[in-house]
A and B are shown apart, each in its own frame.
Chain A
Amino acid sequence: MDNHRSKHKSIRTEKETSRQHRNELWYRFKKNKGAMLGLFIIVFLVLVALSADFLLDYKTDVIGQNLKERLQSPSLTHLFGTDELGRDLFFRVIYGARFSISIGVISVSIGLITGTFFGAIAGYFGGYIEEVIMRITDIMSAIPSILLAIAIVTALGASTLNLMIAVGVASIPEFVRITRASVLMVRNQEFIEAARALGVKEWKIIISHVLPNALAPIIVQTTLTTGSSIISASGLSFLGLGVPAPAPEWGSLLSAGRKFIRGYAYLTLFPGMAIMFTVLAFNLMGDGLRDVLDPKLKQ
């Protein structure tokens, strides 16, 4: 009995130290200039995306056509110029933040939730459950994501949501592997065994003890995958599987602009830069988090 209590206590102290730990992490994160820059860009973009509907009228500013002003170079009236239908590229890029950011975030959530779930189960239970999950993961990662995307997008129809699913599904295997690996590392540690001995339910152990302690690599992977999802979406646009017209998702803008690359380079320049800075921001933040969370690199 006495023994039990002391173990229980050790779990609680674990929680306290983790709070302390978190403060320390934030301090270290703040010191990382690149990561902070990334964070600022992301916060800024999220604000832009959220306010796009207040700033712009979708019907007129974003998809409203004006053939008289088609293919105009950047100027004061049209900061980023206009496209072949006379739509203001600046407005479209601004509004496109909504699409691109939400593609990044939602598709990564699909990969994160599914991948972490199965990865945690595989890592925690082991045995044949693990074997089955991991082999299915192998199969999934052997299938090119473009093929998955074509199947998903063409079978369900081209829409922003289906594109998110396509991109998200492709990121599942990596989440499964990473979660499993980190769960394996914590699975046999004392405090887990303690919880088990206390009779805490398996799924509760996974959710409240195993996952939080395996969180660091998952967080890093999430941040990095958010960036790469935006890139993947643009790749799908290139292959004609992107967000359906006339929605101004950055990848679609970039892809549609490429046939004008010889004459109207600005049509690819601005959406390209938007993607580049956004993905860079997510990557910088991911890198920063990795540095901060990696215990081996503690000074």
Chain B
Amino acid sequence: MLRYILRRIFLMIFVVLGVSFVVFFVINLAPGDVLSKIAPEDATLEEVEALRVELGLDRPIMFRYLDYMKGFVKGDLGKSYITGDDVFKTYMAKLPATLKLAFASIFVSILISIPLGIMAAKNRGSWKDNVSMVAALLGLSMPNFWLGLLLILLFSLKLGWFPTGGAIGFKSLILPAITVGTGLAALLTRTVRSSMLEVIRQDYLRTARAKGVKEKIVINKHAFKNALIPTITIAGTQLTRVLGGAVITETIFAWPGVGRLILDAVYSRDVTMITGCIILKSITISIILLIVDLLYAAVDPRIRAQFAKGGK
């Protein structure tokens, strides 16, 4: 077990190193650097160059990367070129908003997909099945910014139910959560449906039916309970996807999360901020995945046995 955890942590370090390297160099590929955002408008070309030297940005990228990694090894992710703020602190300040949005979106998608999935499974092949699946796919089929704008037009402007954005209070969470959540609902509905279908035909349900248990109870109690595990698994993997920050949704709803932080940093070529955020993001996700796996192991002895063998 311990070996397994150590192995995972080792892999995480490898990924973090790789990510930092790739991000650092990828940003360098893109034309434009942070100077275009911090040099004053009335600067002369010489002044810009002087500033570049002052910030050490004139040095070859390999040296800059090594410098960065020196700090990183000591646990220092550096400071933003733009705001001068500590990258770690800034990321941590934005993380709660992203977490909130991520969990709310998963919640919304579960709310949509469980009834739809059950309905589809119960009426397999009928029009109800088709309608449910199309409904589940709708959110996934619309570009997020369009869906977000439409939601704002309807719920903020016409009906006045929810604010257009900002992370103030519970109400402001609803529209962004719907925007992201509907996009996730498709996969989840599909999972609910197929795992329900699998379970429905299994022997013990046949027995339950034979014993005269009502179909509704069979479905709701027995089948659904067993379909829950794959559903939760999928929801869990989706969570890690949303955790990276929903860039577009966060922009539309002025949601102060990690996604927009990274986006603005990309626009201003704030290398330390981008690299730091993405490193922290992958660490966050790795840790969550590890915790999820460990939880599984705690619940399921079969998986625990696998860990003991050092498998994956």
Q: Do chains A and B touch in the complex (CB under 8 A)?
A: yes
Q: What CA separation (Å) do A287 and B137 show in the bound complex?
A: 10
Distance between B200 CB and nearest chain A CB, rounded to angstroms: 11
- A-B pairs with beta carbons under 8 A, tally: 134
Binding stretch for chain A, among B20-28, B48-56, B85-93, B103-111: B20-28
Is B144 on the interface with A (CB-CB < 8 A)? yes
Which residues of A (25-49) have their CB < 8 Å from a CB of B? Answer: 31, 33-34
Distance between A92 CB and nearest chain B CB, rounded to angstroms: 17
Q: What CA separation (Å) do A268 and B149 show in the bound complex?
A: 10
Is A200 on the interface with B (CB-CB < 8 A)? no
Which residues of A (153-190) have their CB < 8 Å from a CB of B? Answer: 154-155
Distance between B157 CB and nearest chain A CB, rounded to angstroms: 9
Contacts of B263 in A (CB 8 A): 146, 239
Please state if B23 and A143 are interface contacts (CB–CB under 8 Å).
yes
Q: What CA separation (Å) do A135 and B17 show in the bound complex?
A: 11
Please state if A146 and B134 are interface contacts (CB–CB under 8 Å).
no
Please state if B143 and A251 are interface contacts (CB–CB under 8 Å).
yes
Q: What CA separation (Å) do A228 and B146 show in the bound complex?
A: 15
Give residues in B with beta carbon < 8 Å to A. 11, 14-15, 18-19, 22-23, 26-27, 29-32, 125, 127, 130, 133-134, 137-138, 140-146, 149, 153, 186, 190, 194, 197-198, 244-245, 247-248, 251, 259, 262-263, 266, 274, 278, 281-282, 285
Please state if B244 and A275 are interface contacts (CB–CB under 8 Å).
no
Q: What CA separation (Å) do A146 and B267 show in the bound complex?
A: 11
Give residues in A with beta carbon < 8 Å to B. 31, 33-34, 135-136, 138-140, 142-144, 146-148, 150-151, 154-155, 227-228, 231, 234-235, 238-239, 251, 254-255, 258, 261, 265, 268, 272, 275-277, 279-280, 283-284, 287, 290-291, 294, 296-297
Residue pairs across A and B with Cβ atoms less than 8 A apart, 12 shown, are: A34-B130, A135-B14, A140-B22, A142-B278, A142-B281, A143-B23, A144-B244, A151-B27, A227-B140, A238-B145, A268-B146, A279-B142
| Extra A-B contacts (5), CB below 8 Å, given A140-B22, A255-B145, A284-B133 | A146-B263, A227-B141, A265-B153, A275-B146, A276-B138
User: Which residue from chain B places its CB closest to the CB of A280 in the assembled complex?
Assistant: B141
